[in-house]
A and B are shown apart, each in its own frame.
Chain A
Amino acid sequence: MKSSAMRDLMAITERPEVISLAGGLPDTSTFPPESLAALTAKMAATGAARALQYAPTEGMAAAKACIAEVMAAEDTPVDPEDILVTTGGQQVIDLVCKTLVDPGDVVVAEAPTYPGAVPTFMSYQADVVQIAMDDDGMRVDELEATLDRLDTEGRRPKFIYTIPNFQNPAGVTLSLPRRRRLVEVAKERELLVLEDNPYGLLRYEGDPLPTLHALDRGEFVIYLGTFSKILSPGIRIGWTTAPAPVLEKMNLGKQGADLCSSAFSQMFVASYFEHDHWQDYLQSLRDLYRRRRDTMLDALAEYFPREASWTRPQGGLFIWATLPDYIDTTDLLARALSHNVAFVPGRAAYLDGRGANSMRLNFSGVSDDDIRDGIRRIGEVVREQVDLYGTLTGSASAAAGAGDPSAPDPDLADVLHLPPRPSPGRRTDAR
């Protein structure tokens, strides 16, 4: 495990006085407690014994029917027989590694990648090769070049890990041409792709894009879904559908890991889909998170110095901001914490030490006031650092010197080069 410094710093973000933009939390306070009570009562009335019992390893039929309904909403038809219900989406990543990865095997991921997958990859001692992204998601041309290079080294990746929609942490979305090409590459080279899609239904603007699984009809794509972001992460219900031999092995792996996912939770899902309108709740989440995203984008434009840049996600939970390269966001977090505000330092999303000048900001789990206040506080410490660097290097602002903001980060090319949105006259840089 790496970077306990960061872990120790993150421990402080949990203190109540800290506005934490470091989480990845959906806002569960929006789920009506009376609905929870009513659903649980109905469950108890009709199936108490089953809810308290073990479930089949592959999952309960009633829960799988709900999963098929969610996947249909993403235009990704699936036979419920081909679904494995898991304990959160995270377990899918773990089971895929357990099934496929031996120590030293190559796993291809995006740069940056989901920070929560990093410890999983590390615990299976995978050699993770990260592929740069831009505005249109993973650079598939770079992926192909990398696969060629690995090929000459006689190394064949076990799978390609991607979050095509509103990527965590970068917030970008894989474009349709690249989706098509990625699926072709997988087929040509007979490589498995793990498509992690927790946020696909949390789109706030633009048209939905087909899932990789739908494009490939499940031939080489292992699909990961979850109820965490559309219902509740507390129930710990995710799922996967995968090519048959892989799914079979994952099933065996799951038996070894935890026998089955909670019957109680699966019946809760079934009860919820039967008695409530999940699409309505989802719409309410979309409306809420869209507003919070806009609040954060506005706050960034108002409070972050011009040397900073950030992504503008069409959905999901995160914005990825990048600062001049002389600022290390792990150190910056220490200063931010003294102002009672937190974010995830960019290094957490890389396995190779890159990402030092970036940060992940969450807007879904924080109130509008806290988003504004949090971004203002981070903006202040960033500005202090930028000014200090200017003083140290004798340049009035960081426009000169090592942190040339016009030079895009080679790791993330265009993604990090989105100019701040002009703010509607609230900026006070006339001082």
Chain B
Amino acid sequence: MSRVAVLKGGGSLERQVSLRSGARVEDALQRLGHEVIPIDVGGDLVARLRAEAPDVAFVAMHGRDGEDGTVQELLEILGIPYTASGVSACMRCADKVLAKHAMTDAGLPTPAFYSFTETAFKELGAAEALGAIEERLEFPIVVKPADQGSALGVKFAQSPADVAPALVAAFSYSHKVLLERHVHGRELAVSILGDEPLPVVEAVPREEDFYDFSARYTIGRTSFVCPAQLGDALTERAQSLALDVFRLLGCRGFARVDVMLEEGTDQLQVLEVNAIPGLTETSLLPMAADAADIDFDELVSRIVEMALQPV
């Protein structure tokens, strides 16, 4: 049995979800007989990790710091093995723009997009290019912060008048935003555990036409179907695409790939990869694992084992 530090919370906007993921992981680790060291990540992180000297760190953080390679870098420096992806894969996943460029370069499907920093608008007159972008992407256009996990700050611009407020909103979360072609269709989440794709989860929004942040974490707002009713061929395509993206970005341990199945064309389009997807009672990766007869304790157990294996 190991001494496992569970890193959770922190100052990211997804703090609350992370605390819930962390608490659930702690319970599982205790049931598995591990010694658990819960750490709400703050200014004393390095000091605490040095003092506690855990065998392994379970990173149950979402969003900034925890999912973007920052905490991973610190763990590398301290020589503490940790769960899920390494520094560079985290950086690639956390930055949706970087991830989408990598996919495009590798010939993997992702919706057409353009990305700008705040500086581009403030100092380089990027606003002049908005018209051309709108023409190429066609409305509705999805406007997203580049590095915000979850759906915070994601807006749909239905017409040119919506674009500026949507950009202002997105820039509230990030200094870089992307404008993306809206893909209409079914929303699929394909989780990867180790190097195996898990059964596909389909998210079916109940109330709004957009699968928003609150729906993601609130029971009853969205219904989930797992395994998604896609037929064998489509399921296999989705899983194989997710695995390709997981490998392309250099992920390790586990991750969740969000994919759209476009209506009409049946084409799959990758929206983003979550390097540390939620592990709460309502999260999709544990749901997918469950559908593969991997209960939460076993899931946590496997994730810890993978972290302890020499890379």
A53 within 8 A of B: no
Whether the Cβ atoms of B167 and A392 lie closer than 8 Å is yes
Is B212 part of the binding interface, using a Cβ–Cβ cutoff of 8 Å?
Answer: yes
B217 at the interface (CB under 8 A from A): yes
Task: Out of A3, A387, A389, A394, name the residue touching B165 (CB < 8 Å).
Answer: A389
Most buried by A among B13, B14, B167: B13
Contact of B168 among A15, A337, A385 (CB under 8 A): A385
Q: Are B164 and A331 in contact (CB under 8 A)?
A: no
Contact between A335 and B173 (Cβ–Cβ < 8 Å)?
Answer: yes
In contact, A327 and B168 (Cβ under 8 angstroms): yes
Chain A interface size band reads 20 to 34
Question: What's the Cα separation between A11 and B62 when bound, in Å?
Answer: 14
Residues of chain A contacted by B46 (CB below 8 angstroms)? none
Given contacts A334-B153, A388-B121, A392-B127, A8 and B14 within 8 Å (CB-CB): yes
Residues of B within 8 A of A7 (CB): 16
Known: A9-B13, A11-B16, A331-B153. A4 touches B168 (CB 8 A): no
Residue of B whose beta carbon sits closest to that of A11: B16
Min distance, Cβ A397 to any Cβ of chain B, angstroms: 14
Chain B contact patch, size range: 20 to 34
Chain B contact surface mostly: helix
Within 8 A of B (CB), among A6-51: 7-9, 11-12, 15
Q: Which residues A233-285 have CB closer than 8 A to chain B?
A: none
| Interface membership of A123, Cβ < 8 A | no
Separation in Å of the B30 CB from the closest CB of chain A? 24
Residue B254 at the chain A interface, CB threshold 8 Å = no
Flag whether A82 is at the interface (Cβ < 8 A).
no
Report the Cα distance A381→B172, complex, angstroms.
9
B211 shortest CB reach to chain A, Å: 12
Inter-subunit contact A402/B213 (CB<8 Å): no
Distance A385 CA – B153 CA, assembled complex (angstroms) = 14
- Beta-carbon nearest neighbor of B42 in chain A: A15
CB of A22 to closest CB in B, whole Å: 15
Residues on B with beta carbons closer than 8 Å to the beta carbon of A430? none
With both beta carbons as reference points, the residue of chain A lying nearest to B151 in the complex is identified as A5
**How far does the Cβ of A377 sit from chain B's closest Cβ, in whole Å?**
14
| Beta-carbon contacts under 8 Å, B129-183 to A | 130, 152-153, 161, 163-165, 167-173
Which residues of A sit under 8 angstroms from B165, Cβ to Cβ?
A: 326-328, 389, 402
Cβ contacts under 8 Å, A381 to chain B:
172
* A309 and B152 alpha carbons, distance in the complex (Å): 27
Q: Which residues of B contact A11 (CB under 8 A)?
A: 15-16, 19
CB distance from A62 to the nearest CB of B (A): 42
Partner of B13 from A2, A334, A394, A401 at Cβ < 8 Å? A334
A14 to B55 Cα, complex, angstroms: 31
Closest residue on chain A to residue B121 by CB atoms:
A391
Is A423 at the interface (CB under 8 A from chain B)?
no
Q: Contact: B161 with A1, CB < 8 Å?
A: no
Residues of A within 8 A of B121 (CB): 388, 391-392
Q: Is A71 an interface residue (CB 8 A)?
A: no
Is the C-beta of A332 less than 8 angstroms from some C-beta in chain B? yes
Contact between A12 and B13 (Cβ–Cβ < 8 Å)? yes
Known: A4-B218, A8-B14, A335-B173. Contact between A394 and B127, CB under 8 A?
A: yes
Tell me which residues across on chain A come within 8 A of B173, comparing CB atoms: 331, 334-335
Q: In whole angstroms, how far apart are the Cα atoms of A5 and B151 in the complex? A: 9
Is the CB–CB distance between B164 and A332 below 8 Å? no
List 30 A-B pairs, Cβ < 8 Å. A3-B214, A4-B213, A4-B214, A4-B218, A5-B214, A7-B16, A8-B15, A8-B17, A11-B15, A11-B16, A12-B15, A326-B165, A326-B168, A328-B165, A331-B152, A334-B13, A334-B172, A335-B173, A337-B13, A381-B172, A385-B168, A385-B172, A388-B121, A388-B167, A388-B168, A389-B168, A391-B121, A392-B163, A402-B161, A402-B164
10 closest A-B pairs by beta carbon, nearest first, are A331-B172, A392-B164, A331-B169, A335-B172, A326-B165, A8-B16, A5-B213, A4-B214, A11-B16, A5-B214
